[in-house]
Amino acid sequence: MQSVDVTTLIAACTELQETWLPARLEQVYQRDRHTLALCFRTMNQRGWLTLSWHPQAARICLDTPPVKAPDTFTFSQQLRHQLNGLALVSVKAIAPWERALDLQFARRPGDPPLWHLYVEIMGKYSNVILTNVDDLIVTAAHQVSNQQSSVRPIQTGQPYEPPPALTDPAPSLEESQERWQERVSLIPTDLKSNLLKNYRGLSSILVLSMIEAAGLAPQQSTHSLSADDWQRLFDRWREWLTAVQQQQFRPGWLPQGYTVMGWGAVESVPSIHPILSRYYTDELNRQEFSQLRHQLSQRLINLLKKLYVKANDFRDRLHQSDEADRQREQADLLMANLHEWQPGLKAITLADFETGNPVTIPLDPEKNAVQNAQARYKRHQKLKRSRAALEPLLKAVQAEIDYLEQVQVAVTQLSLYANPEDLEALTEIRDELIQQQYLDDPDQRYRGAVAETTNFRHFRSPSGFEILIGRNNRQNDEIVSHVANDYDLWFHSQEIPGSHVLLRLEPGAAPDDADLQFTADLAAYYSRASQSDQVPVIYTEPRYVFKPKGARPGTVIYKQERVIWGQPQRASLSMPIL
């Protein structure tokens, strides 16, 4: 993940100074344990400023409003108590080439500052610290004890000390090319490493884009550069320093990341703040998506493994109960042929009542014929009671397996993060498993009622009809219970876990065979049989689809269905997303 470097921080700070000073602080909200959102209002606009001390995604940028949820963090409560209603009058770096800003708050514009909010963007050492007018620490996002750091402890009541001063030389426009070249080429190694080691304020992504903009290779040795190579690189160097000095930047997207210098950008953007907001939101979402998907996948695998064992055990015991009738028949034979028994027999052979074929019956030599028959009658009754008890247990276990396999299909289909909707769908699956008590809820994420969701997959049939596909059981239920009307058609893979698919039709509209086939292909693709050549898919009108009372999410029964064969491989090659 790309880190916010000094150049990016200066660009973000410059835009804040130009358009958001002075501003009144209206709200303080902590999104999570690493992210704070401050709502500011100026004479012309209102917006949210994100301050993050995340170890990999520390940043300061204008962002989208936070979702409405209870804020129980102590840090935000302390900031709200001290800063709410005050004016942000200054945003500036605490020292040249330092990745730390000082946000100053006063009672009104023009008054001396009463509070300093220091935002330190320094990787795993990032922090947000509030001090009073005397620079005494009032609160901090992350307090550091003397045992954790003897160099720079951060504790309430102690004086604020800036981060340790950088020791590398500071870049300067006054430095001559000869001195710059001598410093960079002093040790014979690759160009990228030499630039990073010899000057402060540089980052890997900045150096890489600078070298590539000069037409050179990052791993190229400094001794292999010609005079023209050095000149091109020095021109880019001065271009960077001039942009920093004049605070004129060209934000844009790189193929893998972003830039504020415009070098190698595939798309230019007027402001750096939307870039920072989108980039770090996507990266953190991608990280959370990967972790959550792994957690859910492993949990489902473990649950299903135990259920498969339990189901097989029930089936084995039911198979044993199939001997109940044979035990009774043998007992009847013994009772009908008591005269054939002799003391000490370990087995007796008698003719079957119906076929006349000889039947060998094992005997307990310690018991007489009546006692052996009674033992078999008891065994018969026990096996009958066992079957009566095992059949509903096996049915319940199989229903649980079917449900979890359906959830597993939904998780499998969400293989890669593409947009926030993917993380939202995965979060809905987690909440569903919490609701069904398959996952613990230590953070009290699930609180009963859930809002309606419209985060379906959208497609268009060849005739232009809209197709909706549920991403999880919650969305599957939403499609059946609230979205579908009497004119639509509902599709699902037959006897195979998969998504509910809805072909939306206007009154009087009739889909042709191509529409039905395309929808069936999608239903087959978004099922557990997505790797098969052909998959049976049933479809019917929504009025014939019912959710049984008390059934698990995503479970329905249906009637009046018709079958069409879907080809999932064909759907994977031609699915025009709406």
In this structure, the answer to whether residues 206 and 243 fall within a common structural domain is: yes
Tell me what pLDDT residue 342 has: 87
Instruction: Provide the residue range defining the domain that includes 266.
Output: 177-270
286 in any annotated domain: no
What's the pLDDT band for 577 if we cut at 50, 70, 90?
very low
Q: Tell me the torsion sign for CA atoms 481, 484, 490, 492.
A: negative
Indicate whether 519 pLDDT > 70: yes
164 in any annotated domain: no
147 in any annotated domain: no
In this structure, the answer to whether residues 378 and 521 fall within a common structural domain is: no
Note the pLDDT tens digit of each residue in 409-435: 999 999 899 888 899 999 999 999 998
Among 80, 75, 32, smallest CA distance to 57 is for 32
Listed residues 450, 467, 493: the one ending a domain: 450
Q: For 248-281, b where at least 16 C-beta lie within 10 A, e where not — what string?
A: ebbbbbbeeebbbbebbbeeebebbbebbbbbbb
DSSP string, 105-120: EESSTTSPPSEEEEEE
Note the pLDDT tens digit of each residue in 339-388: 888 888 888 888 888 888 898 989 989 899 899 889 988 888 887 888 78
Note the pLDDT tens digit of each residue in 93-112: 999 999 999 999 999 999 99
281 in any annotated domain: no
Cα 62 from Cα 48, distance rounded (Å) = 6
Tell me what pLDDT residue 453 has: 63
Selected residue with higher pLDDT from 247 and 455: 247
Cis geometry, peptide bond prior to residue 22 (ω within 30 degrees of 0): yes
Cα 382 from Cα 378, distance rounded (Å) = 6
In this structure, the answer to whether residues 24 and 115 fall within a common structural domain is: yes
In this structure, the answer to whether residues 513 and 539 fall within a common structural domain is: yes
Tell me what pLDDT residue 99 has: 94
In this structure, the answer to whether residues 494 and 562 fall within a common structural domain is: yes
Tell me what pLDDT residue 388 has: 82
In this structure, the answer to whether residues 132 and 38 fall within a common structural domain is: yes
Indicate whether 451 pLDDT > 80: no
Indicate whether 171 pLDDT > 70: yes
419 in any annotated domain: yes
In this structure, the answer to whether residues 434 and 364 fall within a common structural domain is: yes
In this structure, the answer to whether residues 490 and 467 fall within a common structural domain is: yes
What's the pLDDT band for 403 if we cut at 50, 70, 90?
very high
316 in any annotated domain: yes
Listed residues 428, 450, 472: the one ending a domain: 450
Tell me what pLDDT residue 325 has: 75
Note the pLDDT tens digit of each residue in 526-556: 999 999 999 999 999 999 999 888 888 888 9
Tell me what pLDDT residue 574 has: 62
In this structure, the answer to whether residues 412 and 476 fall within a common structural domain is: no
Number of domains observed in the structure of the chain: 4
CATH of the domain at 242: 1.10.8
288 in any annotated domain: no
Q: How many residues does the chain have?
A: 578
Among 105, 119, 115, smallest CA distance to 13 is for 119
Indicate whether 263 pLDDT > 80: yes
In this structure, the answer to whether residues 317 and 436 fall within a common structural domain is: yes
What is the pTM for the complete model shown? 0.79
CATH of the domain at 99: 2.30.310.10
Please report, for residues 37, 454, 484, the alpha-carbon distance to residue 130 in angstroms, rounded to integers and kept in the order given.
Answer: 15, 41, 53
Helices 6-19 and 272-321 pack at an angle, to 10 degrees, of 110
192 in any annotated domain: yes
In this structure, the answer to whether residues 552 and 471 fall within a common structural domain is: yes
Tell me what pLDDT residue 578 has: 41
Note the pLDDT tens digit of each residue in 274-284: 999 999 999 99
Rounded-to-10 torsion of CA 275, 276, 279, 282: -120
In this structure, the answer to whether residues 474 and 384 fall within a common structural domain is: no
Listed residues 94, 116, 140: the one ending a domain: 140
